[in-house]
Chains A and B, each alone.
Chain A
Amino acid sequence: GAGVSQSPSNKVTEKGKDVELRCDPISGHTALYWYRQSLGQGLEFLIYFQGNSAPDKSGLPSDRFSAERTGGSVSTLTIQRTQQEDSAVYLCASSRSGGRQETQYFGPGTRLLVL
C-alpha cells in the first residue's frame, strides 16, 4: 500500500474490556514497531518485530499487552482488561528491513479511550 494503515481510527471501550488494534505495514517492509503516545508522555516504544525473529517486547507495560504478527505482514496489538490509563494513541510504524537506523514510517494511529 501507499503507507502504513491502522484500524480502527478511534476506539471507545469500557474499563475491563479487551481491545484489538490492527496495523498494515507498507508492502515489503519486514520490520514493524508499535508505540504509544500519551498526553504529556511523548511516544513510548512498545514492541518490535523483524521478519521471523523473536519480537523485542521490552516496552510492553504489563502482561495485559500482547502483539502478534501473522505471515510477516499484518500485526495486531491486544490489550486485555483495559484500564483508564491505557487511553492513548497507539501508533504503528514499519521500516524496510529493520537495518541500521532505517527510516520508520508511521501510520495515523488508533485513538483509544477507556471509560
Chain B
Amino acid sequence: QKEVEQDPGPLSVPEGAIVSLNCTYSNSAFQYFMWYRQYSRKGPELLMYTYSSGNKEDGRFTAQVDKSSKYISLFIRDSQPSDSATYLCAMSAQGAQKLVFGQGTRLTINP
C-alpha cells in the first residue's frame, strides 16, 4: 500500500463548478501538506501549503487537512478552463526534506 493515495481520475467538470480533490495517507508522522499543480509538459508548481490540521484559503482555492482521518482536500471554486491540469498532493514529516506525493489527479474544466 502506498503512503499517499490519490484518485488519478480523469475528472472532467463544466466551467464554474466546484471541484473537490482528495488524498488519503497512512503515515501519522506527516505534518506538512501541499498541493501542486502541474500543466502538461511542465514541472509541478506549489499551489497551497498547510501545516498540521485546519483550513487555508487563497482566492478560489481552499485546502483542508483532517489529521484524525488522515485525509486532505483541495477545493476549487468557480473553476476556469485555465485550471485544467494535474493536481498532486504532497506531504512530509517534521524534519524530513523529501516530499511524498500522491499519484496526481488529472482535471479538465470544460468551457
Contact = CB atoms under 8 A, between A and B. Distances in A.
Contacts of A41: 103
Contacts of A45: 98-100
Contacts of A107: 43
Interface in A23-40: 31, 33, 35, 40
A101 B101 contact: no
A98 B4 CA distance: 22
Nearest to A59: B98
Interface residues of A, number: 27
A42 B101 contact: yes
Interface string B83-108: 00000101010010111111110000
Which residue among B8, B51, B97 has the maximum number of chain A CB atoms within 10 Å of its CB?
A: B97
Contacts, number: 57
In this complex, the interface size class of chain B, counting residues with CB under 8 Å from chain A, is 20 to 34
B6 interface: yes
Contacts of B92: 101
Given A40-B103, A42-B88, A42-B102, A56 B97 contact: yes
A42 B41 contact: no
Contacts of B88: 42-43
Interface in B1-54: 4, 6, 8, 32, 36, 41-46, 49, 51
Interface of B: 4, 6, 8, 32, 36, 41-46, 49, 51, 88, 90, 92, 95, 97-104
9 contacts: A33-B97, A35-B99, A42-B6, A43-B90, A56-B98, A93-B43, A104-B46, A106-B43, A107-B43
